[in-house]
Amino acid sequence: MTDNPLPAPKRLADSTALLVGGTAGVGLETARQLLAAGVTVAISGRDPERGAAAVRSLSALGPVTFVRGDASTAAGAQDIESEARAELGVIDIMMCSTVPPIVPDLLFRTDIASIPDTIAALTSPPMLMTAAVLGGMRDQRSGVIINVASDAGKSATPGESVIGAAMAAIIMFSRTVAMEAKRDGVRVNVLTPSLIAGTETSARVLKEGFSAKLFAKAASMASLGVADPADLAALAVFLASPEAGRLTGQAISVNGGISAA
């Protein structure tokens, strides 16, 4: 027992959520499922037209707003957090599922000058958004952070040397923040898919070249079926819920059996 125990985890119906990268793919589907559970939602992205279209597609399900912003810079992440907090009052749940247009390839074919930018593009949004929302969550002594990385951060995969390094960085960052923030009632977990059917990313990596061969082989190994955005969203909703109130610091694979990473 402590002199100042943590508050009970909020019901989803009493919660708010900020979904960074929420205008498409996993983020958009997570917004849809959270709204269905009674959560008040803000989605964030860089493209206002895509944001407006996403809001139109979601508005019948519940209260949703769009926050325009770029989570790849510190100032941008702080602006997203500030505007979302103004819209929502508090931020109980933050999920970052941004996906830059980077295609796997073998290292010897990779432009060495592109490596720092690739790592920054992949790692900056989840790290910066986690840092941006953490202060408010610590003040309210509760909160859920969900970052999306990939199984490339767990399993050495040809063609994903740089991507895998970035994904591993997101995973370890999130797990470490989970250990730092647990005393403040903040939980941090990571979703690590492999291939996600029906997304712009899957279309891009399956289009041609080395990545098409890599992910076609991965899909053939998914004996339980290739994961889709609804699979990832369902897990995100669970992680955000009181039923996952003692689950933190985990990196959970959703890959249909492609690997046991």
Residue 191's DSSP bridge partners are 148, 252
* Domains of the chain and CATH, by start: 12-251 (3.40.50.720)
> 164 near 147, Cβ under 8 Å?
no
Q: Which residue matches tokens 């793919």? A: 25
Determine how β-strand 64-68 pairs with β-strand 251-254.
unpaired
Q: How confident is the model at residue 208 (pLDDT cuts 50, 70, 90)?
A: low
> 193 near 258, Cβ under 8 Å?
no
What sign has the CA pseudo-torsion 192, 237, 98, 94? negative
Q: How confident is the model at residue 3 (pLDDT cuts 50, 70, 90)?
A: low
Task: Please tell me the pTM assigned to this model.
Answer: 0.93
* pLDDT, tens digit (0-9, with 9 covering 90-100), for 119-171: 999 999 999 999 999 999 999 999 999 999 999 999 998 999 999 999 999 99
